[in-house]
Chains A and B, each alone.
Chain A
């Protein structure tokens, strides 16, 4: 399973001048020294880099296989979706921000296109996301979407094949744990070829535009 280590960031270059400036300005309590905007538990990068919002596979390449268990507990093979464009996204159901945002964008995009599109949501948290959990989730957030799960090894193999990274992150006692994960959405054409991946924040219009492009 691919994983990346979490390194504390270096002392930001701007911080030293900021602190010096604070001393030199000798400002009122609370009015200066406001450079750090948040106190966090873990030292990590604070700005999600969106990069390009969409990237094309040129040339298109065959999508990796995806054979897991769907939300009804039945075996699922991505090849069964041949004949229509497909969006594939890896996430998890306890994800409060990124995953619901992405799925809402996809839902909105599908309202902008008039071709049938398969949507596959694959969990990276099989410990909590069994088929029943996936069913509750897709029924609520994403009716008509396919939710996939499997055992730990199956999920690891699928993620590896798709170049998806994920890692468990300890959170607060109330929140339990979170999963760090790759947040791209993959767009396949009707022949099962990988055509684009869309970065988080692509938005409904751009997703719809790419679907139309590869469906046309």
Chain B
């Protein structure tokens, strides 16, 4: 998959006073640079209530950015959720392990120089109200909206896993 890339430049001057030393530090600008790679969606039936898509977001810029919205023509509503551990896991002989649940993520920060992977068991794009079956070999368009760099459109291949 070809990575999509977009730059955005932040203008503005921020001056802050240090508590410990009375030094003023000023910065003229910082910019986020976002690369989205390896997008894929899990094959699912439109009868299923929700599909999932995954991808990797890398920020090679000097400023943080954040994923604040996702849309796709393949689904009525698209949201980012995170699969999280709930309750204490008990990796012992007992079968009473911890639970996993999901929480919606309204804003996913991508730190400067960092990356966030949306992958099974972690952050995922939830495709709610699929408009068609997602079949292996198909692809769907996903538009990611970032706070700083704006929209990035990617094409996600449909795979089994």
A23 touches B105 (CB 8 A): no
Q: State how many angstroms separate the Cβ of B114 from the closest Cβ of chain A.
A: 7
Interface flag for A29 (CB, 8 Å): yes
Q: State how many angstroms separate the Cβ of B153 from the closest Cβ of chain A.
A: 21
Q: State how many angstroms separate the Cβ of A9 from the closest Cβ of chain B.
A: 10
Q: State how many angstroms separate the Cβ of B68 from the closest Cβ of chain A.
A: 9
Mask for B102-131, Cβ within 8 A of A = 1, else 0? 111111110110101000111110111100
Q: For A44, what are the chain B residues with a Cβ–Cβ distance below 8 Å?
A: 84, 86, 101, 103
B121 touches A51 (CB 8 A): no
Interface flag for B142 (CB, 8 Å): no
Interface flag for B98 (CB, 8 Å): yes
Interface flag for A26 (CB, 8 Å): yes
B52 touches A100 (CB 8 A): yes
Q: For A166, what are the chain B residues with a Cβ–Cβ distance below 8 Å?
A: 99
Q: For B48, what are the chain A residues with a Cβ–Cβ distance below 8 Å?
A: 93-94, 136-137, 140-141
B86 touches A6 (CB 8 A): yes
Interface residue stretch chosen among A30-38, A65-73, A74-82: A30-38
A181 touches B42 (CB 8 A): no
Mask for B71-114, Cβ within 8 A of A = 1, else 0? 00000110101111111110111111111111111111101101
Most buried by A among B29, B116, B128: B128
Interface flag for A179 (CB, 8 Å): yes
B84 touches A48 (CB 8 A): yes
A94 touches B14 (CB 8 A): no
Q: For A46, what are the chain B residues with a Cβ–Cβ distance below 8 Å?
A: 82, 84
Q: What secondary structure prevails in chain B residues at the interface with A?
A: strand
Q: For B95, what are the chain A residues with a Cβ–Cβ distance below 8 Å?
A: 162-164, 182, 184, 186, 194, 197
Q: For A153, what are the chain B residues with a Cβ–Cβ distance below 8 Å?
A: none
Complex Cα distance A167/B87, Å? Answer: 11
Interface flag for A42 (CB, 8 Å): yes
Complex Cα distance A39/B109, Å? Answer: 8
Interface flag for B141 (CB, 8 Å): no
Interface flag for A114 (CB, 8 Å): no
The residue of chain B having its C-beta at the shortest distance from the C-beta of A44 within the complex is: B84
Interface flag for A121 (CB, 8 Å): no
Interface flag for A171 (CB, 8 Å): yes
Complex Cα distance A190/B42, Å? Answer: 32
Q: For B77, what are the chain A residues with a Cβ–Cβ distance below 8 Å?
A: 174-175
Mask for A104-117, Cβ within 8 A of B = 1, else 0? 11011000000000
Q: State how many angstroms separate the Cβ of B58 from the closest Cβ of chain A.
A: 14
Q: For B30, what are the chain A residues with a Cβ–Cβ distance below 8 Å?
A: 28-31
A180 touches B96 (CB 8 A): no
Interface flag for B4 (CB, 8 Å): no
The residue of chain A having its C-beta at the shortest distance from the C-beta of B49 within the complex is: A94
Name the 6 nearest CB pairs between A and B, nearest first.
A180-B101, A51-B91, A26-B16, A28-B27, A4-B87, A163-B95
Task: Report which B residues bind A (CB closer than 8 A).
Answer: 10, 12, 14-20, 25, 27, 29-30, 32, 42, 44-45, 47-52, 62-65, 76-77, 79, 81-89, 91-109, 111-112, 114, 116, 120-124, 126-129, 148, 160-161
Task: Report which A residues bind B (CB closer than 8 A).
Answer: 2, 4, 6, 23-34, 36-42, 44-49, 51-52, 55-58, 93-94, 96-98, 100-101, 104-105, 107-108, 136-137, 140-141, 162-167, 169, 171-172, 174-176, 178-184, 186, 194, 197, 199-201
